[in-house]
Structure 1
């Protein structure tokens, strides 16, 4: 370790959650993943990840979801730091402090977000000077959603979701996320999707042109009918309560609703901030979801912010 006078200050990165506006699932690949075509949007639920030089590698988590996030070597943020150090020849350990606000195991890429934030923070802390494209390449080794959380905004993901292309999108969209206690395993949801499809042949997916037109319009009324998730039927098959939650949100005034990723969070698109408040109150009153959160999108991806002062 260098002296305290020359040690760089800790770096804090804020990183968003994501919602899949469209998730089209193609055939199973030889590597065990499905071919995907998805349209991501970054939304204003976020984690803050602080990386500081330390004598040993380590990770700590605070916030409402801290008790369900591992802090050992399986933590994706810690894996991100280790990968970047190995690939760039850095031998200086760091401690990662995660202030967790993105729901865990909710289909909103909370773990992937922390990994993305860690890559950006370590790049700054270690003065590596990597480009966004280089960071996204490392991110793709960690998980399908990680590259998008570095980029943010709205983007098409292909391959298994890690290959990104920007989308021309206008305006801001108001979201209400209903977060349930229902447990869903991503592999189980994909397996159920395959079971429901049976032996029917599935083509390689491509983005829906109507969705692209809707995003260019900036009008939530046009976007809402285009929200699509091929995993939704599988998630509802495994947990029928999700179907009831989707129906409740529509009944209470949502323009559209979709299971986010592999679930179990349900994302509702609404007209404006007042509608978001009304839907949040209605869903909370029913008790159909453990937690209801409002957000807007699109927003930018992982970015450095001034360090928090505790």
Structure 2
């Protein structure tokens, strides 16, 4: 039996830089991973199966539509899998993609396979989730470059519990060709300098996502209103947003405050690295 952690993926920036003839959008994104996430357990079995448990298990499929099952299919061997779901689904923090990446890593370890299968069929985010460290993701997600020396960020993740379909958000984006991040990323000396730089960057999907789900603007306003907040932004195509804070204590205080004032929201204090 092997266990693997599937951390939440957070898009600190997300610049949409174009659209290919086949409809796929080109991105330039700085990605970090949280210390909160799902957990995948894999064990030998006579047939392929998936059980989903945990506080966010409701509504998560256990059939072949789940990326965990699709990831297991790449190996062609029967295994029993248990996915402990702690991240909200379809929330802009790569939950399904990270689950799939964790499944690939766990099964590869179980089989003592040193060469991983081609994960491109599982979606654009799985490749960066296999890396599980700060990275620059570009193209349609297939170009992944590790980013060394990213300062640890103290953050709060908030999801208001609304479904914002990614295709709908991309379709609502009026300007498809926007400026990328600088070709050479800075060398940030600390979290404060990274936060200052992030404030000069964007998530181009934030405005169209808010148009689809105005509650996202309420989440960002709530994060901005917390004591010590230095930056708030949506991750991915939403609806999860993150707020940055100068210390672990400030982030924990903000998370407690938001959980009390908005009991229907999913709120987690975390560190991004």
Residues 13 and 117 in structure 1, CA contact (< 8 A), matched pair in contact too: yes
In the other structure, the counterpart of 1:173 is: 153
In the other structure, the counterpart of 1:102 is: 87
Measured against aligned partners, the alpha-carbon deviations of 1:75-110 in whole angstroms (never above 9, x if no partner) come to 10110111233xxxxxx3111111111221111111
Q: 1:224, CA displacement in angstroms?
A: 4.7
Q: Gaps (5+ residues) in structure 2?
A: none
Residues 174 and 276 in structure 1, CA contact (< 8 A), matched pair in contact too: yes
Would you identify which runs of 4 or more consecutive aligned residues in structure 1 move more than 3 Å?
Answer: none
Aligned residue pairs: how many?
270
- CA RMSD, 1 decimal: 1.9
In the alignment, which of 238, 245, 248 is matched to residue 273 of structure 1?
248
Measured against aligned partners, the alpha-carbon deviations of 1:43-75 in whole angstroms (never above 9, x if no partner) come to 111211111111111111100111221000111
Asked if 1:217 is matched to 2:155, the reply is no
Q: Give the TM-score, by structure 1 length.
A: 0.82
Q: Report which of the two structures shows the higher radius of gyration computed on alpha carbons.
A: 1
CA distance in 1, matches of 2:164, 2:7: 22
Q: 1:289, CA displacement in angstroms?
A: 5.3
In the other structure, the counterpart of 1:129 is: 114
In the alignment, which of 50, 54, 62 is matched to residue 41 of structure 2?
50
Asked if 1:79 is matched to 2:64, the reply is no
Equivalent residue runs for 1:94-243 within 5 Å: 94-130=79-115, 135=116, 138-193=118-173, 196-197=174-175, 202=177, 205-208=179-182, 212-213=185-186, 216-220=188-192, 221-226=195-200, 228-243=202-217
CA distance in 2, matches of 1:72, 1:170: 38
In the other structure, the counterpart of 2:231 is: 256
Say which structure is richer in helix.
Answer: 1
